[in-house]
Amino acid sequence: MQHVSTVFRHGILVTLLVLMQSCAGPQFQPASPDAGNALLYIYEPSALLSDGEHNLVAVNEKIVAEVEPGSYFVMTIPPGRISITRKLVSTFGLLSPSAHIGLWEGFVEVESFGAKGGQRYYIRFPEGVYVEDEQRALDQLYGLKLLQPYQE
């Protein structure tokens, strides 16, 4: 009798897992850049524990987004040298102590690279690192909230 109960429980578990997988929806699909420009994705996967800081991100010394855990931003960039800087800001609007060291009004350079037209680039925060494996970046982007362009 106990064996039947265990088999029944495993059957229900497998059925629930199959149903959950089918409800997951389509994977995140990146946009296709035109041949003359590239696309830049800046994102921060969700964090179980947040320290209350988010990243004010600038591309070539222009603030483009406030990236926080569970969000991403995408923008078209021209080919050429791209410099990404950030300033850590607390949820209370105060600068993080680590943000006072660095470049351009408290911004610290986190990544710099040469962009090529027709390519996609992925920068993951909080580290501010370039993610070379596109499939890994796409898996991390799935389910994140799309941010609107930064408004001063």
Q: Stretch 84-89: mean pLDDT, rounded?
A: 87
Domains of the chain: 38-146 (2.60.40)
pLDDT range class, residue 38, cuts 50, 70, 90: very high
pLDDT: is 76 or 103 the higher one?
Answer: 76
Global pTM? Answer: 0.72
- Please check the confidence at residue 104 and state whether its pLDDT lies above 50: no
Query: What is the spatial distance between Cα 37 and Cα 116, in angstroms, rounded to a whole number?
Result: 7
DSSP string of the chain, one letter each residue: -HHHHHHHHHHHHHHHHHHHHHHS-PPP-PPPPPTT-EEEEEEE---SS--SEEEEEEETTEEEEEE-TTEEEEEEE-SEEEEEEEEEEETTSPBPGGGGSSBGGGBEEEEEEEE-TT-EEEEETTTTEE---HHHHHHHHTTPEEPPPP--
- The pLDDT value given to residue 80: 96
Contacting residues for 38 by C-beta, under 8 A, at least 6 apart = 76, 77, 78, 79, 115, 116, 117, 118, 119, 120, 121
